[in-house]
Structure 1
Amino acid sequence: MMKKLLLVLSIVLFSINLFANKEQYNYLELRYKSEEDNVPTYWSFSEEEAPSEGELEAILAEFIKSNDDFSYKVVKTETDELGFEHKLYKQHYKKYPIEFGELRVHVKNGKIFSMNGTISDKAPKDNLLSLSESEALKMALEYIDAKVYKWEVEAEESLLRAQMGENATYFPEGELTFISKDATVNHEALKLAYKFNIYAHEPMSRSEIYIDASDGSVVFKNSLIHTGNTQGTAVTGYSGTRTITADSVSPSNFRLRQTASGNGIYTYNMQQGTTYANAIDFTDSDNYWNNANANLDEYATDAHWGAEQTYEYFSTKHNRNSINNNGFALVSYVHFASNFANAFWDGQRMTYGDGAGALSPFTALDIVAHEIAHGLTTFSANLIYQSEPGALNESFSDIFGAAVEAYARPNNKNWTIGEDIGFSLRSMANPNLYGDPDTRGGNNWRNVNGCIPSQQNNNCGVHINSGVPNYWFYLLVSGGSGTNDLGNPYSVTSIGMDKAAAIAFRNLTVYLGRNSDFDDARFYSIKAAVDLYGACSPEVASVTDAWHAVGVGNAYVPGVIADFETADTLGCQPPYQVQFENNSSNGLDFFWDFGDGQTSTMRRPSHIYNSFGNFDVKLVIDGDSCGVDSIIKQSYISIDTSNLCAITMQDGQTQSINDCSGAVFDTGGNSFQYLDNENAVVVVEPQNAASVTLTFNQFDVESGSSGTICDYDYLEIFDGNSINAPSLGKFCNNNLPPSTITSSGGAITLQFYSDQALTRDGFNIGWQCTYPTAAPVVDFESSSDSTCTGEVQFTDLSTEAPSSWVWDFGDGRSSNVQNPTHKYDVNGVYNVSLIATNLIGSDTIVKQGKIIVSKPSAPAFTDDTFCVNQNATLNAMASGTARWYADKYSNTVLSTGNSFSIGQLNQDTSFWVEDYISSPSTYFGPTNSIGNGSYWSVDFYLEFVVYKQMLLESVFMIPNSAGFRTVELRDTNNNVLKTKGFNIPNTNPYQANLDMIIPAGHYRLAVQGASPANNVPDLFVNTSGVSYPYTEPGLVSITGSNAGSSYYGYFYYWKVKEPNCLSERAEVFAFLDTSCTLTSIKDNTLNEKEGISIFPNPSKNVLNVKFEKSNTFNKMFVTDMTGKVILEQGIDVNAAKTVRLTTTSLSNGVYFISFEGNEQLVRKKFIVVK
Structure 2
Amino acid sequence: MKKYIFLFIILLCGYFSFAQSEQQLTSIHSIATVKGNGVIANISPDYQLPASIFIDKYKTLLELQTEDEMRLLQTNQGRNNLIHYRYQHYYQDIPVEGSQWVLHEKNNLVYQLTGKVVKGLNLSTSPLISAKDALQLTLKESSGTHFAWENEGLEKDLQTIKNNPSATYFPIPELIIYDTKHSFKAENYKLVYKISIFVIEPKMYNEIIYLDAQTGKVLKKIKKTSSVNKEVPAVTRYNGIKRITVDSLAPNLYMLRSNSRGLGNGIYTKNMNNEGSIFQYSTENATDFFENDTIFDSDVVANSAHYGAEMTYDYYLYKHGRNSYDDQGTQLMSYVHMGQNMQNAFWNGSAMFYGDGVNNYPFTFLSVCGHEITHGVTQYSANLEYQNESGALNESFSDIFGVMIHYYATDTLQWTIGEELNSPFRDLSNPNRFENPDTYLGNYWVTGTEDYGGVHTNCGVGNYWFYLLTVGGSGVNDFETPYDVTGITPEKSEIIAYELLTQYLTPYSDYNEAYLYSLEVAENLYGDCSPEKRSVADAWAAVGIGYPLKDSVVYIMSILAPTTACALQNNELITLELLYNSCNDTLRSGTPLFFKVQLNQALIIYDTVFLAQDIAPGLCTLTLNKPFDFSAIGNHRIDIEVGVYNNNYTASLKNYNFTNRIYQNSDVGVAEIVAPTSSCFLTDNSPVTVKIFFDVCEEREAGSPVVVSFTINGNYKITDTIILAQAMTTEDTLLHTFSQGGNFTLKNKNLIRAFTESPDDVNATNNMCSLTVYKPKSLNQVSIITFDDSGNDEYFYTESEEFSNAYTYLLPDYDDRKVLKMTAKGDPSLYMYDLEFADDGNLWEYNKKMDSRANFCIDARGYEELALAFNLKQTSGKTLYEMLLGGDIPSGYNLLYSSMMRVLVDNEEISGTFAPSTPTNDPFTQHVIDLTPYTGDVFMLTFQSKCLAADMNLFMQNYILDNVYIDNIMLWNSVDIPTFEKKDFQFSIFPNPNQGKFTVYIESNKNRNGRLILTDITGKLILQQPCQLHEGAQWIAVNVYGLKNGIYFLQIDTGSERLVGKVVVN
TM-score by length of 2: 0.51
Matches within 5 A, 1:840-859: none
User: For the residues of structure 2 that align with 1:321 and 1:9, how far apart are their CA atoms?
Assistant: 39
> How much has 1:167 moved relative to structure 2?
2.4
Helix, strand or coil at the partner of 1:530: helix
> How much has 1:620 moved relative to structure 2?
11
Query: What is the aligned counterpart of 2:357 among 355, 358, 362?
Result: 355
1:121 corresponding residue in structure 2: 119
Helix, strand or coil at the partner of 2:184: coil
2:262 corresponding residue in structure 1: 262
> How much has 1:556 moved relative to structure 2?
2.5
> How much has 1:49 moved relative to structure 2?
3.6
1:414 corresponding residue in structure 2: 414
User: For the residues of structure 2 that align with 1:387 and 1:52, how far apart are their CA atoms?
Assistant: 36
Give 1:429's aligned amino acid: S
> How much has 1:277 moved relative to structure 2?
2.4
Query: What is the aligned counterpart of 1:140 among 138, 141, 161?
Result: 138
User: For the residues of structure 2 that align with 1:154 and 1:24, how far apart are their CA atoms?
Assistant: 52
Give 1:498's aligned amino acid: E
- The superposition leaves residues 778-813 of structure 1 with CA deviations (integer Å, 9 ceiling, x where unpaired) of xxxxxxxxxxxxxxxxxxxxxxxxxxxxxxxxxxxx
2:55 corresponding residue in structure 1: 56
1:31 paired with 2:31, answer no
> How much has 1:939 moved relative to structure 2?
11
User: For the residues of structure 2 that align with 1:618 and 1:1007, how far apart are their CA atoms?
Assistant: 46
**4+ residue segments displaced more than 6 Å:** 9-16, 582-594, 616-621, 930-940, 968-974, 1007-1012, 1018-1021
Helix, strand or coil at the partner of 2:550: coil
Matches within 5 A, 1:641-656: none
> How much has 1:590 moved relative to structure 2?
11
Query: What is the aligned counterpart of 1:285 among 263, 283, 292?
Result: 292
Kept in 1: contact 2:485–2:539 (CA 8 A): yes
Give 2:261's aligned amino acid: S
- The superposition leaves residues 203-242 of structure 1 with CA deviations (integer Å, 9 ceiling, x where unpaired) of 122211111122222212233441xx21111111111111
1:397 corresponding residue in structure 2: 398
Helix, strand or coil at the partner of 1:168: coil
Matches within 5 A, 1:163-182: 163-164=161-162, 165-182=164-181
> How much has 1:317 moved relative to structure 2?
1.7
1:779 corresponding residue in structure 2: none
> How much has 1:72 moved relative to structure 2?
1.6
Kept in 2: contact 1:174–1:196 (CA 8 A): yes
1:544 corresponding residue in structure 2: 537
User: For the residues of structure 1 that align with 2:432 and 2:391, how far apart are their CA atoms?
Assistant: 19
> How much has 1:313 moved relative to structure 2?
1.4
Give 1:119's aligned amino acid: V
1:495 paired with 2:496, answer no
Query: What is the aligned counterpart of 2:339 among 329, 337, 340?
Result: 337
TM-score by length of 1: 0.47
User: For the residues of structure 2 that align with 1:525 and 1:409, how far apart are their CA atoms?
Assistant: 27
- The superposition leaves residues 244-263 of structure 1 with CA deviations (integer Å, 9 ceiling, x where unpaired) of 11111111111111122223
1:312 corresponding residue in structure 2: 314
Q: Which structure dedicates a bigger proportion of its chain to helix? A: 2
Kept in 2: contact 1:28–1:46 (CA 8 A): yes
User: For the residues of structure 1 that align with 2:360 and 2:141, how far apart are their CA atoms?
Assistant: 33
Q: Which segment is superposed worse, 484-493 or 79-88?
A: 79-88
Give 1:26's aligned amino acid: S
Kept in 2: contact 1:560–1:587 (CA 8 A): no
Kept in 2: contact 1:43–1:114 (CA 8 A): yes
Kept in 2: contact 1:332–1:349 (CA 8 A): yes
User: For the residues of structure 1 that align with 2:45 and 2:692, how far apart are their CA atoms?
Assistant: 51
Give 1:407's aligned amino acid: Y
> How much has 1:394 moved relative to structure 2?
0.8
1:425 corresponding residue in structure 2: 425
The verdict on how the C-alpha distance between 1:527 and 1:13 changes in structure 2, with shifts beyond 3 A counting, is: farther
Kept in 1: contact 2:589–2:614 (CA 8 A): yes
Unmatched runs of 5 consecutive residues or more in structure 1: 1-5, 34-39, 292-296, 562-581, 595-615, 624-628, 634-739, 741-929, 941-967, 975-1002, 1013-1017, 1027-1039, 1047-1170
User: For the residues of structure 2 that align with 1:619 and 1:186, how far apart are their CA atoms?
Assistant: 35
> How much has 1:492 moved relative to structure 2?
0.5
1:525 corresponding residue in structure 2: 518
1:674 corresponding residue in structure 2: none
Unmatched runs of 5 consecutive residues or more in structure 2: 19-24, 555-577, 591-610, 623-662, 664-684, 706-722, 742-757, 762-767, 769-1066
Give 1:353's aligned amino acid: G
Give 1:239's aligned amino acid: N
Query: What is the aligned counterpart of 2:65 among 49, 60, 67?
Result: 67
User: For the residues of structure 1 that align with 2:396 and 2:158, how far apart are their CA atoms?
Assistant: 30
1:209 corresponding residue in structure 2: 209
Matches within 5 A, 1:694-713: none
1:186 paired with 2:211, answer no
User: For the residues of structure 2 that align with 1:346 and 1:496, how far apart are their CA atoms?
Assistant: 33
Query: What is the aligned counterpart of 1:76 among 38, 63, 74?
Result: 74
User: For the residues of structure 1 that align with 2:88 and 2:28, how far apart are their CA atoms?
Assistant: 24
Helix, strand or coil at the partner of 1:78: strand
1:1140 corresponding residue in structure 2: none
User: For the residues of structure 1 that align with 2:287 and 2:77, how far apart are their CA atoms?
Assistant: 38
User: For the residues of structure 2 that align with 1:400 and 1:436, how far apart are their CA atoms?
Assistant: 18
- The superposition leaves residues 905-924 of structure 1 with CA deviations (integer Å, 9 ceiling, x where unpaired) of xxxxxxxxxxxxxxxxxxxx
Matches within 5 A, 1:415-454: 415-446=415-446, 448=447, 451-452=448-449
Kept in 2: contact 1:16–1:586 (CA 8 A): no
Give 2:238's aligned amino acid: Y
> How much has 1:483 moved relative to structure 2?
0.8
The verdict on how the C-alpha distance between 1:584 and 1:445 changes in structure 2, with shifts beyond 3 A counting, is: closer
The verdict on how the C-alpha distance between 1:972 and 1:221 changes in structure 2, with shifts beyond 3 A counting, is: same
Helix, strand or coil at the partner of 2:534: helix
> How much has 1:971 moved relative to structure 2?
7.7
User: For the residues of structure 1 that align with 2:9 and 2:386, how far apart are their CA atoms?
Assistant: 30
Helix, strand or coil at the partner of 1:341: coil
Kept in 2: contact 1:89–1:103 (CA 8 A): yes
1:516 paired with 2:504, answer no
User: For the residues of structure 2 that align with 1:589 and 1:546, how far apart are their CA atoms?
Assistant: 21
1:86 paired with 2:84, answer yes
Kept in 1: contact 2:12–2:34 (CA 8 A): no
The verdict on how the C-alpha distance between 1:187 and 1:937 changes in structure 2, with shifts beyond 3 A counting, is: farther
1:151 corresponding residue in structure 2: 149
2:571 corresponding residue in structure 1: none
Helix, strand or coil at the partner of 1:400: helix
User: For the residues of structure 2 that align with 1:177 and 1:9, how far apart are their CA atoms?
Assistant: 32
Helix, strand or coil at the partner of 2:6: coil
Kept in 1: contact 2:551–2:581 (CA 8 A): no
1:371 corresponding residue in structure 2: 372
> How much has 1:302 moved relative to structure 2?
1.2
- The superposition leaves residues 244-303 of structure 1 with CA deviations (integer Å, 9 ceiling, x where unpaired) of 111111111111111222231111112124232222211111121122xxxxx2121111
Query: What is the aligned counterpart of 2:464 among 462, 466, 471?
Result: 471
User: For the residues of structure 2 that align with 1:223 and 1:558, how far apart are their CA atoms?
Assistant: 46
Matches within 5 A, 1:1136-1147: none
Kept in 2: contact 1:126–1:188 (CA 8 A): no
The verdict on how the C-alpha distance between 1:211 and 1:10 changes in structure 2, with shifts beyond 3 A counting, is: closer
Give 2:114's aligned amino acid: N
User: For the residues of structure 2 that align with 1:329 and 1:939, how far apart are their CA atoms?
Assistant: 64
User: For the residues of structure 2 that align with 1:617 and 1:445, how far apart are their CA atoms?
Assistant: 42
User: For the residues of structure 2 that align with 1:526 and 1:510, how far apart are their CA atoms?
Assistant: 13
Helix, strand or coil at the partner of 1:67: coil
User: For the residues of structure 1 that align with 2:398 and 2:295, how far apart are their CA atoms?
Assistant: 31
Give 1:169's aligned amino acid: T
Give 2:197's aligned amino acid: I
The verdict on how the C-alpha distance between 1:13 and 1:145 changes in structure 2, with shifts beyond 3 A counting, is: closer
Aligned residue pairs total 613
Q: Which segment is superposed worse, 511-520 or 435-444?
A: 435-444
Q: Name the Cα RMSD after superposition.
A: 4.7
Helix, strand or coil at the partner of 1:289: coil
> How much has 1:69 moved relative to structure 2?
2.6
Kept in 2: contact 1:386–1:460 (CA 8 A): yes
Q: Greater CA radius of gyration, 1 or 2?
A: 1
The verdict on how the C-alpha distance between 1:270 and 1:487 changes in structure 2, with shifts beyond 3 A counting, is: same
User: For the residues of structure 2 that align with 1:129 and 1:1021, how far apart are their CA atoms?
Assistant: 39
Give 2:34's aligned amino acid: L
Helix, strand or coil at the partner of 1:366: helix
Give 1:465's aligned amino acid: N
User: For the residues of structure 2 that align with 1:145 and 1:617, how far apart are their CA atoms?
Assistant: 63
- The superposition leaves residues 827-869 of structure 1 with CA deviations (integer Å, 9 ceiling, x where unpaired) of xxxxxxxxxxxxxxxxxxxxxxxxxxxxxxxxxxxxxxxxxxx
User: For the residues of structure 2 that align with 1:133 and 1:1023, how far apart are their CA atoms?
Assistant: 48
